[in-house]
């Protein structure tokens, strides 16, 4: 679909309420500075930053979409689902998020203990300095590993030590995508399969097959624009959107300084998410 509307948005970004490094207000100010027309705040498994983000957006004049990045798993694969336009106060959504928060906390503790047993100089006390209310993720553990000199950057730390086969890997208990779809729909939102290329990095066709299955199960669409996509992935995700006639979303997956070289709005330089994505979403709502 073509449009002459040149406005751009970013529908996948994180704050320090999960594993970003900017506060909700700071993220909204950065979006304004970047010239974005709208931004979605999509922290991992929490809606804690949405009230502050939306208030700041209203104050400085930029549209803020209330969202979330919901962790799920299917067929032994980790799959993230983006929820947009949701009502954060929905009780059933918050019940699910609280359960996931407890499970994530236990996973982090086990991961740190495994790293300690393997000889890494890291402790739960170190992890605690990131804040008691923030949703702590593998990114926080990765940051500690970088600070201790075990990896050059967070991405390398996660892939080397915190994924399957790594010294600190612990499988986390997460619901299936169907539960994320149900909870986000109950909260009045739309659901998108996030970065399908990450579902199975070794088998792109398997990633696409699982993505299709999730859309068949009720997801409203998928990310067809993402900071890590090459031409192949842009073409394949766009083809799925055409195949199902579903909605498109996209974003930078901005985390602040946690992901070096990744900019809000433009990703690694060539990302552009058009405003008409949002217009189609509103039509669906």
Give tens-digit pLDDT for 169-223: 988 889 999 999 999 999 999 999 999 999 998 899 999 999 999 999 999 999 9
Q: Convert the pLDDT of each residue in 135-152 to its tens digit.
A: 778 888 988 999 999 999
**Residues 102, 190: Cα–Cα separation, whole Å:** 25
Q: How confident is the model over 262-273, as pLDDT tens digits?
A: 999 999 999 999
How many residues can be counted in the chain?
285
Cα angle 65, 70, 74; round to 5: 145
CB 136 within 8 A of CB 105: yes
Mean pLDDT over each residue of the chain, to the nearest integer: 93
């Amino acid at each position: 679909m073509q449009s002459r509307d040149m406005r751009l948005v970013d529908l996948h970004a994180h704050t320090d309420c999960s594993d970003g490094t900017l506060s909700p207000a700071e993220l909204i100010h950065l979006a304004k500075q970047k010239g974005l027309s709208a931004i979605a705040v999509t922290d991992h498994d929490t809606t804690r930053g949405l009230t502050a983000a939306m208030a700041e957006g209203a104050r400085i004049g930029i549209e803020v979409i209330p969202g979330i990045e919901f962790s799920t798993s299917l067929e032994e694969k980790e799959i993230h689902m983006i929820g947009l336009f949701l009502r954060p106060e929905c009780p059933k959504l918050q019940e699910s998020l609280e359960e996931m928060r407890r499970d994530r906390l236990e996973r982090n503790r086990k991961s740190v203990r495994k790293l300690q047993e393997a000889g890494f100089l890291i402790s739960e006390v170190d992890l605690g300095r990131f804040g008691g209310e923030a949703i702590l993720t593998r990114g926080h553990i990765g940051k500690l590993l970088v600070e201790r000199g075990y990896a050059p950057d967070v991405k390398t730390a996660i892939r080397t030590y915190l994924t399957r086969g790594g010294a600190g890997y612990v499988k986390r208990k997460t619901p299936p995508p169907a539960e994320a779809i149900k909870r986000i729909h109950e909260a009045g939102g739309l659901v998108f399969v996030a970065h399908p290329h990450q579902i199975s990095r070794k088998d792109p066709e398997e990633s696409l097959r699982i993505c299709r299955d999730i859309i068949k199960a009720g997801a409203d669409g998928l990310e067809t624009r993402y900071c890590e996509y090459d031409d192949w992935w842009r073409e394949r995700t766009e083809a799925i959107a055409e195949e199902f006639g579903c909605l498109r979303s996209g974003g930078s997956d901005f985390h602040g300084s946690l992901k070096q070289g990744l900019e809000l709005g433009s990703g690694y330089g060539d990302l552009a998410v058009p405003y008409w994505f949002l217009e189609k979403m509103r039509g669906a709502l």
